[in-house]
Amino acid sequence: MTDVSIDLQPLSDAVVDGNRSKTVRLAQEALDAGLEPLAIIEQGLVPGMEVVGARFKRNEMFVPEMLIAARAMKEAMALLEPRLAATGYKPAHTVVIGTVQGDLHDIGKNLVATMLKGANFGVVDLGTNVAPETFVEAAGEHGAALIGLSALLTTTMPRMKSTVQAIRDAGLRDVRVMIGGAPVTQSYADEIGAEGYAPDAASAVDTARQLVAV
């Protein structure tokens, strides 16, 4: 590709506005102008979702509004990803995320996954009621830098500890673990050896970035 200069601020704004057709159109125009797909993502789409994330964190946006923005980004990504894949590109960091065994609550976990995708993490969502060994296998398979564990019940929270133990026992020592959920605290994260704790979905991206030192 040639050295191309193009203002991607309108693209970011379209993501913030949740304007799907405009986001896709501007992404296409940037491609047509010769901009690298990765640059469009990193300088156009991700900054837009960062604005969304910050507004969400300040309670200036509701989840439905945040999801509309995320959907706009997703549609543009559908346009860009085949071209990225052709270059062998993968997101710098992949997160394996799931709700621990015995627990079926997934709204909070889903929001975290959405926010992480918006920040251009690769996200492998294992769903709910996930056994420790499934986290371990997925982290190995996808080369995850981070594993995110969610639990809502006091009686499933102890599964976080056994999952962290399984991760360590499997020798995945470079994989960081972050946890969250209603009954979970920073002190519990410290107690079970999880490197990160996020009190809410809006904070999870910051925590994830710190853990992988993006």
Partner 1 sequence: MSTFTQLAIDDAHELLFGRAPRPLTTRRGMVIGGGVVYPELNFTLPAMLVDQATMDEVRRQYRQIITDALQRAVELEVPGLVVEFETLPPMTQTPAWGIELTRILAEAMEEAYARHGLPSVLRITPNDTREFDRPPILRRGENWQQMLETFEGCANAGAELLSIESVGGKEVHDEALQAGDLPGVIFALCVLGERDMRFLWSRLARVAQRTGSVCAGDTACGFGNTAMVLAEQKMIPRVFAAVVRAVTAVRSLVAYECGAVGPGKDCGYENPILKAITGYPMAMEGKSAACAHLSPLGNIAAATCDTWSNESVQNVRLLAAMAPTCYLEQLAYDCRLMNEALRDGDDAARTLQRWLVRSDAPRDPQACVLTPGNVIELARAIVDAGEPYRAGVAAARRAIDLIERAAEAGELHIIERERPWLSMMRHSLDEMPEDADTFIAHHLAQLDPTRCLAAEYALAGV
> Which residues would be at the binding site for partner 1 (CB under 8 A)?
59-60, 62-65, 67, 102, 104, 106-107, 110-111, 127-129, 153-155, 157-159, 183, 200
**26 vs 124 by CB, closer to partner 1:** 124
**171 vs 183 by CB, closer to partner 1:** 183
Q: Distance of alpha carbon 88 from its chain centroid, rounded? A: 20
Q: Which residue has the tokens 């769903």?
A: 127
Q: DSSP secondary structure string, 50-88?
A: HHHHHHHHTT-S-HHHHHHHHHHHHHHHHHHHHHHHHTT
Shortest spacing between CB 20 and partner 1, in angstroms? 14
Shortest spacing between CB 183 and partner 1, in angstroms? 7
Helix (H) or strand (E) holding 116: helix 107-118
Shortest spacing between CB 213 and partner 1, in angstroms? 29
Give the number of other CB atoms < 10 A from CB of residue 3. Answer: 5
**28 vs 129 by CB, closer to partner 1:** 129
196-197, strands of its sheet edge to edge: 122-125, 94-99, 146-150, 176-180, 196-197
**40 vs 96 by CB, closer to partner 1:** 96
Shortest spacing between CB 158 and partner 1, in angstroms? 5
